[in-house]
Amino acid sequence: MLAYSKGITSSREIDGCCRDNIIFKALACDSQPHFSTIAQFIGSKPSDIKAKTHSGTVKELSEKRDKLKRLIQLKMQEHQQCEAFDGNADEKKRVEQTINTLTAQHDKIEHFLHTNTARIGGG
């Protein structure tokens, strides 16, 4: 859940966090689950593993939208580098999927911000 709350949804990235990040290590009791175990667990409980990623103040959502835009630009550069160096097809596909996911998240926040007004007194 910590990974999802930080925008980390790749089981391979979660695997890496459990090896390298002290907070993840502590929460995992210093165990290092293999990415395939993480993927299997997440796949077996799709309705139980939902992250509330699009909540917060207008300012927080605007910052998240801007961060997503920057991430999309970085991934686009990574994708172009894969193309330039005739990179691994699997890597290209992974980067394309990441770009699509980030773009969908960005567009969802952008749509929400343009179609809703801030609630008064909500903090």
What is the pLDDT at residue 123? 46
Q: Note whether 39 and 64 are same-domain residues.
A: no
How many structural domains is the chain composed of?
2
In a domain, 120, yes or no: no
Contacts of 41 (CB under 8 A, 6+ apart): none
Angle between helices 58-84 and 89-115 (to 10 degrees): 160
**Containing structural domain, residue 103:** 58-115
Tell me which residue of 106, 42, 52, 48 sits closest to 74, measured CA to CA: 106
What is the pLDDT at residue 80? 78
In a domain, 39, yes or no: yes
Rg (CA), the chain: 17
Q: In tens digits, what is the pLDDT along the chain, a chain of 123 residues?
A: 788 778 788 889 999 999 999 999 999 898 889 989 988 888 887 666 656 555 567 888 888 889 989 988 888 888 777 666 666 777 778 888 888 888 998 998 888 888 887 766 554
Q: Note whether 68 and 32 are same-domain residues.
A: no
Q: Note whether 105 and 82 are same-domain residues.
A: yes
How many Å separate Cα 8 from the centre of its chain? Answer: 4
Cα separation, 73 vs 51, whole angstroms: 24
Report DSSP state, residue 10. -
Tell me which residue of 51, 69, 58 sits closest to 116, measured CA to CA: 58
What is the pLDDT at residue 20? 92
CA distances from 46 to 4, 39, 43 (A): 13, 11, 6
